[in-house]
Chains A and B, each alone.
Chain A
Amino acid sequence: MIELKNISKIYNPQKKNQLTALENISLNIKRERLVAIVGPSGYGKSTLLNIIGCMDKPSEGEYLLDGKSVVGLSQGQLGKMRNKYLGFVIQDFALIEDYTVFKNVEIPIQYSNNKKNKKQRIRELLEKLEIEDKINEHAYNLSGGQRQRVAIARALINEPEIILADEPTGALDQKTGKQVLSIFKSIHEVESKTILIVTHNMEIANQCDQIIELIDGKIV
């Protein structure tokens, strides 16, 4: 599903402040896997996630997403890839505060070709995540756990094959963090999604099928 071949990412190339964030990374993540990316801070985890998430382009190497090469694509084509294949969940939820839950979850649909039964799909998904009653609430009225569920709903609404989660429990207390993690496991098991979780927490990493450890921009 995700195939990286000799990927490198160099910031400010050939300048004094040149920084190699990723060096010669090759990895293959198969469909329906639950993968943890671990490693110390500043060692390239987010850069890797951004490249896998088509938010950033590698300086060198090849990236195949569902068998299609991503490196040479235009911004518009990358946008379509993100919309179709990827769902993002990040640590601080990235909800738009003055939007309602419905409007937050609706965003990926707006950029998708499939806008059919929009209201029904959002309602059903929120029901699964047990926040259906919050559908018309503004994001600023929600608790941390509820906010993360909305972020998960937004990531899932277009039924992407891959979910990228960057420290999804980092901003939550232990109890809520466990609930959110169980949601991810359920999505992985029931809906057969490929999930990549960037985490510092080895307890979470140990529950995954595969652990990728990054140190100094290289896979250990």
Chain B
Amino acid sequence: MRTQLMYAINDIKQKKSYYIAFMLQMIVVILLLINCINIFNNRENAFDSLENIYKDQDAYYVSLENYEKDIYMDAYEDELMQEIYKFLNESEKLNYFSQTERYFEIPDMPPNSLYEWDETDNRKVKVYKVLFVDANFIEVFKLDILDNSIFSLEEEWQKYDNTQIPVILGNGYKNIYEAGDSFTNSEGKQYVVKGILKSNQTLVDISFGEGTISLDDVILVLAYPTTIEQMPEEGNIDFETYFENMTLLPQNNEVLVELQDICNKSKVYAYNFQNIAGVADYMERETGESISIFAFIIIIIIIFAMLMIVIQTLDFIKKKKQEFAVHIFSGATKADIVLRLVCQILIIVMTAGVIAAFFSKDYVMIAGISALILCICLLTSIPGIILLFRLQISEILRRKE
């Protein structure tokens, strides 16, 4: 084994560029597969949790029909909002949660996967994805918070004062902030970190139709809704926006009709209550398609890599047959030469796995995928091994008569 390992390393050194290209392919395959599996798992988890919401009851999300219409709020509309507010708070047969997407500029925040560039006042700035969510949202989606003993949602709600807005950060921020830390956005609002989410949590974004989104790089701001007039002295989100991004969980149809009747009185807004089940199915299909595209790319890369192995091993054996003959008359067997080939593949796949581990921390998955790729590579090298066993060593060394 040691001897063949040494010769395998020597072979790799001699043909560096080929092996580097092969290894890069393996790294790409490993990372793409991890990504694909993660997307698939997260999607499954997100849709499972969404399905759990409307498993026993219908769920509806609120949407505005004529969103582009000029909005003119007057006393009448204000009163209507108060009525909706009151109805939601007092109705025992209607549960709800809300989620609103925003982007904030937060100076000194390191970039993450969800930041975007925004151009305001001729200034290009990094903005970060923020979800305004209420306490119900966190409970409904059963979001897990690291060390949740220090955090009580209800308590936070009681002492909310709009000077220090409580936030929960995605797991990607755990090396930057910890509970108790605070940061300020470009508008001067101060946010206090109340907890960090556990990693790999996802949700299906129904309101904005973004499909499954990872919460690792999201900032969850606890939404404290108020009416337009009271902003910004009280609360951090106006009630209309809060309501417009709400998901309703009515215990019966009557309560939904009652709410719809109140909403229909508005002269400015035309609200629709869309059943989540149909939308969720549509979004599940959509995300399924994006996974299929990923899987297709992976399959193409794997086929290409496998073809490369077949061609390379056949070429390797043809070019090195005299060398193998020398090794065999010096005491080696054909099985030793096969071991040398296996060692080469093993070195490349293991190195690719180690390098992939620098980019992804899913060590168990990397080990599993590397083992799978190793098996595929070994299967692909079978034609080369058959060629090797068919070689007549004595013929290779036959002298020229």
Contacts and interface: CB of A to CB of B under 8 A. Distances in A.
Interface of A: 41-42, 46-47, 50, 53, 55-56, 75-76, 78-80, 82-84, 86, 88, 90-92, 94-96, 98, 107-108, 110-112, 154, 166-167, 170, 198
Question: What bracket does the count of chain B residues touching chain A fall in?
Answer: 20 to 34
A94 B401 contact: no
Contact of B327 (A53, A92, A98, A107): A107
B330 A108 contact: yes
Given A94-B322, A94-B325, A98-B14, A107 B400 contact: no
B400 A91 contact: yes
A58 to B, nearest CB: 13
Contact of A46 (B327, B329, B393, B398): B398
Interface of B: 3, 6, 14, 322-323, 325-336, 393-394, 397-401
Contacts of B333: 75-76, 78-79
A152 B327 CA distance: 15
Contacts of B328: 55, 79, 82
Nearest to B397: A90
Contacts of A42: 401
A86 B336 CA distance: 19
25 contacts: A41-B401, A46-B394, A53-B329, A55-B329, A55-B397, A75-B333, A76-B333, A79-B332, A79-B336, A80-B331, A83-B330, A83-B331, A88-B329, A94-B322, A94-B325, A107-B330, A110-B3, A110-B330, A111-B330, A111-B331, A154-B330, A166-B399, A167-B399, A170-B400, A198-B399
B331 A79 contact: yes
A96 B401 contact: no
Contacts of A56: 394
B242 to A, nearest CB: 73
A126 B329 CA distance: 20
Contacts of A111: 3, 327, 330-332, 336
A179 to B, nearest CB: 20
B19 to A, nearest CB: 16
A92 B331 contact: no
B400 A92 contact: yes
B326 A107 contact: yes
Contacts of B335: 75-76
Contact of A94 (B334, B397, B400): B397
A88 B336 CA distance: 19
A91 B331 contact: no
Nearest to A54: B329
Contacts of B330: 82-83, 88, 107-108, 110-111, 154
Nearest to B396: A94
A166 B399 CA distance: 7
A144 B13 CA distance: 28
A90 B330 CA distance: 13
Given A79-B332, A107-B327, A111-B331, A55 B393 contact: yes
A82 B394 contact: no
A88 B394 CA distance: 12
Q: Give the one of B6, B329, B333, B393 with max A CB within 10 A.
A: B329
Contacts of B329: 53, 55, 82, 86, 88
